[in-house]
Amino acid sequence: MTTPKKLYIKTYGCQMNVYDSERMSEALSGEGYVPTDSPDDADMILLNTCHIREKAAEKVYSELGRYKGLKAEKPDLKIGVAGCVAQAEGEEIMRRQPMVDLVVGPQSYHRLPELEAKARSGERALDTDFPEEDKFEHLKSRPKASRGPTAFLTVQEGCDKFCAFCVVPYTRGAEVSRPASRVLDEARDLVERGVREITLLGQNVNAYHGAGTDGDWGLARLIYALADIDGLERIRFTTSHPNDMDDDLIEAHANCSKLMPYLHLPVQAGSDKILKRMNRQHTAESYIKLMERLREARPDLHVSGDFIVGFPEETEEDFQDTLNLIKTVKYGSAFSFKYSPRPGTPAAERPQVPEDEKNDRLQRLQALLSQQQRELQDAMVGREVSVLFEKPGRQAGQMVGKSEYLHAVHVTADGLNPGDLRKVRIINSGPNSLSGVLI
Ligand code: 5AD
Ligand code: SF4
């Protein structure tokens, strides 16, 4: 028997990259690779990169620099760059970094085995095509390997929205949805392997329109079909654009009990002038109205969002509009960023807001968001939630899981196992998590 080769993957960025890293690992398991947690004993190192914000490429180069010594010691070590930086700057990476053996863009992961073979034979390999064939079809799961209770499942990829700040339409390409039957097969397989909660992923997941048994299905249809799978207890989806939140999907929040009452719906800014400059194609008011409709459908809905401060031409007044929108909507969690000009996107060419103003606004924005988050989390004390337990906590006898609202919840009790779904009474709200007792 040949000894297995070891694969170290370092994943940056979004949950889709996490999913992709799993698929890449599975694709290479067919070539005799087993995963390792340490680059030091790896035969292949893959960086799965993210290009969404600042210094993406620099981070990749500095990470590569750290492997120089390793590569000198082990000439057989192969080093690859995958993900969105690979897609955007693959050729440049090949030119600047002779130690890189292979570059592979997100749409070509199914070709990894061939690229790996090429690299092993001493040639350098680059693939940043947007191929015709369906990569998911060629990226089969390792049969029956057991899984933890939660999993990501990519159902849609790419984006046609072209927000003026965003590289996604360029790095991930046009919107493509996987056929519903494939998604359902993958979901059933995950459930058989122990998964109880699936988060459907897409850059613009609510624009999902995959081939179903009777024509195109929207995301709501897909969610109802997934909810029919015995043993699958929870469904989530991320991330969405407000304009693709159709009536069916809003209703699903009322009608489908397996769809969790937590929604990540980015708005980015609260000023109509800035939203227009961002090419978001909605207004602050239409977003607020949409949130009201969603909360009518599911009154306990927790919402989360993304915000950008310091977008070109954002004034103090525009920024105040963002703060006001946040006060109106009330977010249970949020992600906020300073605008970072991305090469090749329209807004990168415009006059920029000074860095110190960006910093100042980000601080004020985050102060408001953390205060809201705190208040909403503290308000959970005394309430009954359902918790899907995932893993042991730090203290003896403790287990950690997630509430339906995605709060981390700690419980100390005998006989709890990962995968258990239990009712819990919240008794305390800590800095980043809740704790409670079984009911
Ligand atoms: N600068 C800052 N934030 C950005 N995002 C996307 N592109 C940029 C950029 N150029 C943020 C948006 C998006 C999240 C994934 O990242 O808020 O929703
Ligand atoms: Fe980027 Fe999202 Fe806008 Fe698409 S909808 S361009 S992924 S921010």
CATH number (domain holding residue 431):
2.40.50.140
Q: Does residue 86's CB lie within 6 angstroms of at least one atom of ligand 2?
A: no
Q: What is the model's pLDDT at position 1?
A: 56
Q: Does residue 58's CB lie within 6 angstroms of at least one atom of ligand 2?
A: no
Ligand 2 centroid to 163 CA: how many Å?
5
Which atom of ligand 1 is nearest the CA belonging to 335? 17
Q: What is the model's pLDDT at position 135?
A: 76
- Nearest-CA residue for ligand 2 atom 3 is 163
pLDDT > 60? residue 142: no
Within-domain flag for 51: yes
Examine the fold and report which residue of 73, 94, 127 is the final residue of a domain before the chain moves on: 127
Q: Does residue 170's CB lie within 6 angstroms of at least one atom of ligand 1?
A: no
Mark the binding-site residues for [4Fe-4S] cluster, compressed into ranges.
14, 50, 84, 159, 163, 166
Are 291 and 212 members of one domain?
A: yes
Q: Does residue 156's CB lie within 6 angstroms of at least one atom of ligand 2?
A: no
Most informative mutation of 154, 160, 172, 204 for ligand 2 (most atoms within 8 A of CB): 204
Are 66 and 212 members of one domain?
A: no
Are 334 and 426 members of one domain?
A: no
Q: How confident is the model at residue 57 (pLDDT cuts 50, 70, 90)?
A: confident
Q: Please answer whether residues 107 and 134 qualify as being in contact, where contact means their C-beta atoms are separated by less than 8 angstroms.
A: no
Q: What is the model's pLDDT at position 298?
A: 98
Residue pLDDT, tens place only, 167-208:
999 999 999 999 999 999 999 999 999 999 999 999 999 999
- Total structural domains within the chain: 3
Most informative mutation of 154, 157, 163 for ligand 2 (most atoms within 8 A of CB): 163
Most informative mutation of 170, 337, 355 for ligand 1 (most atoms within 8 A of CB): 337
Q: Does residue 166's CB lie within 6 angstroms of at least one atom of ligand 2?
A: yes
Residue pLDDT, tens place only, 214-234:
999 999 999 999 999 999 999
Q: What is the model's pLDDT at position 143?
A: 60
pLDDT > 80? residue 299: yes
pLDDT > 70? residue 369: yes
Q: What is the model's pLDDT at position 80?
A: 97
Are 371 and 395 members of one domain?
A: no
Q: Does residue 118's CB lie within 6 angstroms of at least one atom of ligand 2?
A: no
pLDDT > 80? residue 133: no
Are 302 and 351 members of one domain?
A: yes
Most informative mutation of 159, 175, 239 for ligand 2 (most atoms within 8 A of CB): 159
Average pLDDT, the chain: 94
Ligand 2 centroid to 93 CA: how many Å?
25
- Ligand at minimal distance from the CA of 336 is 1
Q: How distant, in Å, are the alpha carbons of 71, 182, 340 from that of 319?
A: 48, 44, 16
| Partners of 399 in the β-ladder | 392, 411
- Ligand at minimal distance from the CA of 242 is 2
Rounded to an integer, what is the distance from CA 110 to the centroid of its chain? 20
Q: What is the model's pLDDT at position 145?
A: 73
Q: Does residue 241's CB lie within 6 angstroms of at least one atom of ligand 2?
A: yes
Within-domain flag for 319: yes
Ligand 1 centroid to 40 CA: how many Å?
33
Domain enclosing residue 181, as ranges:
143-379
Mark the binding-site residues, compressed into ranges.
14, 50, 84, 159, 163, 166
- Residue 363: which CATH number? 3.80.30.20
Average pLDDT rounded to a whole number, residues 335-342: 96
Q: What percent of the chain has pLDDT over 90?
A: 90
Task: Note if the pTM is more than 0.75.
Answer: yes
Q: Does residue 203's CB lie within 6 angstroms of at least one atom of ligand 2?
A: yes
Q: Does residue 159's CB lie within 6 angstroms of at least one atom of ligand 2?
A: yes
Most informative mutation of 53, 205, 349, 358 for ligand 1 (most atoms within 8 A of CB): 53
Are 260 and 342 members of one domain?
A: yes
Residue pLDDT, tens place only, 30-41:
899 999 999 999
Within-domain flag for 94: yes
Are 339 and 402 members of one domain?
A: no
Ligand 1 centroid to 259 CA: how many Å?
26
Q: Does residue 16's CB lie within 6 angstroms of at least one atom of ligand 2?
A: no
Ligand 2 centroid to 101 CA: how many Å?
31
Q: How confident is the model at residue 140 (pLDDT cuts 50, 70, 90)?
A: low
Q: What is the model's pLDDT at position 434?
A: 98
Q: What percent of the chain has pLDDT over 70?
A: 98
Within-domain flag for 133: no
Q: Does residue 165's CB lie within 6 angstroms of at least one atom of ligand 1?
A: yes
Residue pLDDT, tens place only, 342-365:
999 999 999 999 999 999 999 999
Q: What is the model's pLDDT at position 129?
A: 87
Are 371 and 403 members of one domain?
A: no
Within-domain flag for 136: no
Average pLDDT rounded to a whole number, residues 107-121: 93
Whether residue 3 has a cis bond before it, omega within 30° of 0:
no
Are 197 and 314 members of one domain?
A: yes
- Nearest-CA residue for ligand 1 atom 7 is 166
Average pLDDT rounded to a whole number, residues 416-426: 97
Are 45 and 87 members of one domain?
A: yes
Residue pLDDT, tens place only, 270-287:
999 999 999 999 999 999
